[in-house]
């Protein structure tokens, strides 16, 4: 049976700096009175149908997924991501966690239907969706994706607002760098390797030009004719040793948030 779990997180931004991640957590339980006809110590209930058994199995799978430890993992990941942005003067506050069961959504299908149902807040509210898998090609596996600010959004809601936010594979909950990287895009930051060794790259002066790489060699210099070595520790690059943003990225992220999103949070 396919995995069918997804986590929904909403980050809403309030104040002059980003201020809130809104996850929603709804847990419903039913307590039903139980009574069984008992005769001579034996139960007279009929054998369960195959349909009932199938549904019970699905419920058992879902119940195993909705655990305190899993929800704690989400909260811990958000706490770690929030710390990554604190030096920017950007603060995120966890509001809740919402766990949704849906076979298609959890595998990256029917994205707009999912977001239409789950999307919360204005354009200053970052919605994060953690799913079992994302649709991607075998040669280019996708771990996460996020929408940049859209110049055509004028505070009127609609498809642009609904589509906004980040979708990330849930197996990367323990790998907070991926969420931080994607949220960087939501704030308008480009990859450090954008444009490669030509032009103005990511349009930020203190991020050295570089090519797309996955290594953590601090002496790497994929654009030797441009000033500076590869910033392998930058969150907007690709590797597993990312730890921070530059001063220029900090200023750009704050300015872009205020320019695009702060009026509609």
Q: What are the pLDDT digits (tens) for 226-259?
A: 999 999 999 999 988 899 999 999 999 999 999 9
Catalytic residue chosen out of the listed positions 42, 58, 182, 218 = 182
Q: Which residues pair with 101 in a beta bridge?
A: 5
In our burial notation (b when 16+ CB lie closer than 10 A, e otherwise), range 215-245 reads: eeeeeeebbeeeeebbbbebbbbbbeebeeb
Which parts of the chain sit beneath pLDDT 70?
1-41, 59, 61-70, 96, 136-141, 171-176, 265
Q: Which residues pair with 43 in a beta bridge?
A: 38
Q: Is there a contact between 202 and 210 (Cβ–Cβ < 8 Å)?
A: no
Q: Which residues pair with 201 in a beta bridge?
A: none
The CA-based angle 8-78-16, given to 5 degrees, is 95
- Non-local (6+) Cβ contacts of 154 within 8 A are none
Q: What is the pLDDT of residue 95?
A: 72
pTM value is: 0.76
Distance set, CA 172 to CA 99, 143, 145, 169, 260 (Å): 16, 8, 13, 6, 28
Q: What is the pLDDT of residue 181?
A: 93
Q: Which long-range contacts (CB under 8 A, 24 or more apart) does 241-245 make?
A: 241/216, 242/177, 242/180, 242/181, 244/84, 244/87, 245/87, 245/88, 245/184, 245/189
Q: Which residues pair with 166 in a beta bridge?
A: 128, 146
Q: Is 58 a catalytic residue?
A: no
Q: What is the pLDDT of residue 3?
A: 45
């Amino acid at each position: 049976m396919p995995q069918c779990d997804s986590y929904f997180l909403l980050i809403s931004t309030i104040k002059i700096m980003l201020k809130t991640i809104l996850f929603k957590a709804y847990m419903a339980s039913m307590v039903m009175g139980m009574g069984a006809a008992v005769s001579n110590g034996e139960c007279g209930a009929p054998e369960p149908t195959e349909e009932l058994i199938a549904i019970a199995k699905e419920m058992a799978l879902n119940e195993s997924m909705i655990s305190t430890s899993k929800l704690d993992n989400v909260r811990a990941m958000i706490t770690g991501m929030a710390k990554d942005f604190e030096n920017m003067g950007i603060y995120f506050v966890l509001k809740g966690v919402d766990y949704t069961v849906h076979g298609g959504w959890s595998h990256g299908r029917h994205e707009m239907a999912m977001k239409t149902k789950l999307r919360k807040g204005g354009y200053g509210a970052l919605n994060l969706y953690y799913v079992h898998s994302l649709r991607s090609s075998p040669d280019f596996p996708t771990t996460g994706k996020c929408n940049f600010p859209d110049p055509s959004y004028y505070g009127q809601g609609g498809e642009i607002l609904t589509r906004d936010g980040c979708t990330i594979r849930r197996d990367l909950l323990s790998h907070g760098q991926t969420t931080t990287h994607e949220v960087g895009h939501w704030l308008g930051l480009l990859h450090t390797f954008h444009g490669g060794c030509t032009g103005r790259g990511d349009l930020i002066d203190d991020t050295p030009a570089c090519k797309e790489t996955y290594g953590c060699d601090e002496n790497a210099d994929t654009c030797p004719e441009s000033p500076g070595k590869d910033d392998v520790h930058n969150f907007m690059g690709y590797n597993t040793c990312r730890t921070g943003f530059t001063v220029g990225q900090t200023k750009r992220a704050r300015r872009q948030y205020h320019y695009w999103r702060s009026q509609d949070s």
